[in-house]
Amino acid sequence: MNPIRWLEIIGTFALEAFEELGRFFVLLFQAAYWLFRPPWDVREWFRQMVRVGWDSIPVIFLTCLFTGMVLALQTYQGFQRFHAEGFVGSVVALSLTRELAPVLTGLMAAGRVGSAMAAELGTMRVTEQIDALYTMATPPVQYLVVPRVLASILMLPLLTLIGDGIGIVGGWMVAAGLFHANTFTYWEKTFQYLEINDITSGLIKAAFFGMILAGTGCAKGYFTTGGAEGVGRSTTAAVVTGSLYILLSDFFLTKVLF
């Protein structure tokens, strides 16, 4: 292929990527601007918190329970080789609080909530409902984006906290039930090496992931074009891009926080 053509493809890709990132940040800045301006639609904020938080509990419960269980299963068998079974509780707790619970909660929420946001806002865009909001002197970002971003930033840490607890219990269930580990030792080692900073930094990460998944879902939906097909594209892109942004930012956040 002609090298110019290659350059063209790379240039187009780079431009699209920057355009997308720009839209994401513009929407987040606009949401920050409208967050502090009345009227505050508190009822809509709570409605979104229920959708993002409460409705996600079963998914997060199962995800973190089985992650804690498989983590204990793997580490117990591995640690047996050098008689370090007593540290399984510590490994499970540290892995979950510092890394796995926030990231898995973020990824699961990106799939469940981010896609729903993109689909909902995308449908509203193509059926002129967002235009209608604007003509009724209601800034669409204030009414649609602010509650979703706010709910995600507040709810993801709470979901992560639930995930932390459930995962650690899952680990204990496997260690005690399957490998007959001493329950007292398991819990003692869990709390011996677990520091409050491990939990709080995990929760800070979760809040960032909440902002990322809601910002991506809303941006994809808000700028949807192309009718029903466009809504489908936005929904898929919200999950893929949201998950990617979460995984990429996880590294940098971990570097900064720990």
Partner 1 sequence: MGAENTMPVTSGAAEEIRVESLLKIFDARHVLDELCFSVAAGESLVVVGASGEGKTVLLKHLIGLMSPDAGRVLIQGIDLKTASPSESIEIRKKCGMSFQEGALFDSMTVFENIAFPIRRHTRRKTREIAERVSQCLSLVRLEGIEDRRPAELSGGMRRRVGFARAIALEPEILFFDEPTTGLDPVNTAAIGRVIDHLRRELGVTVITITHDMMLAFRIADRIAMLRQGKFLIDTDPENFRRSDLPWVRAFLEGKLPEGEEDAL
The size of the chain, in residues, is 258
Q: How far is the CB of 104 from partner 1 (least distance, A)?
A: 30
First vs last Cα of the chain: how many Å apart? Answer: 46
Residue 138 interacts with partner 1 (CB under 8 A): yes or no? yes
CB of 69 or CB of 119, closer to partner 1: 119
- Using the rule CB under 8 A, is 39 a contact of partner 1? yes
Q: Is 132 a binder of partner 1 (CB under 8 A)? A: yes
State the minimum distance, in angstroms, from the CB of residue 82 to partner 1: 58
DSSP string, 78-124: HHHTTT-GGGHHHHHHHHIIIIIHHHHHHHHHIIIIIHHHHHHHHHH
Nearest approach, Cβ of 135 to partner 1 (angstroms)?
4
CA nearest neighbour of 173 among 44, 75, 29, 69: 69
Among residues 130 and 206, whose Cβ is nearest to partner 1?
Answer: 130
| Per-residue buried b or exposed e for 224-235, using 16+ beta carbons within 10 Å of the residue's own CB | beeeeebbebbb
3-state helix, strand, coil in the chain (%, to 5): 90, 0, 10
Is residue 225 near partner 1 by the rule CB under 8 A?
Answer: no
Give how many residues touch partner 1 by CB under 8 A.
15
3-state secondary structure of 142: helix
Please identify, among the stretches 70-78, 135-143, 161-169, 221-229, the one whose residues bind partner 1 according to the rule CB under 8 A.
Answer: 135-143
Q: Does residue 254 bind partner 1 (CB under 8 A)?
A: no
Member of 137, 180, 251, 255 binding partner 1 (CB under 8 A): 137
Contact present, 224 and 234 (Cβ < 8 Å): yes
Chosen residue from 134, 169, 187, 240 binding partner 1 by CB under 8 A: 134
Among 74, 129, 249, 254, binds partner 1 (CB under 8 A): 129
Which of positions 96-125 make contact with partner 1 (CB under 8 A)? 123-124
* Torsion sign (Cα): 128, 134, 138, 139: positive
Phi, psi of 57 (to 5 degrees): -55, -45
39 vs 58, beta carbon nearer partner 1? 39
Q: How far is the CB of 137 from partner 1 (least distance, A)?
A: 4
Q: How far is the CB of 57 from partner 1 (least distance, A)?
A: 23
Using CB under 8 A as the criterion, which residues of the chain lie in contact with partner 1 when the complex forms? 37, 39, 123-124, 127-129, 131-132, 134-139
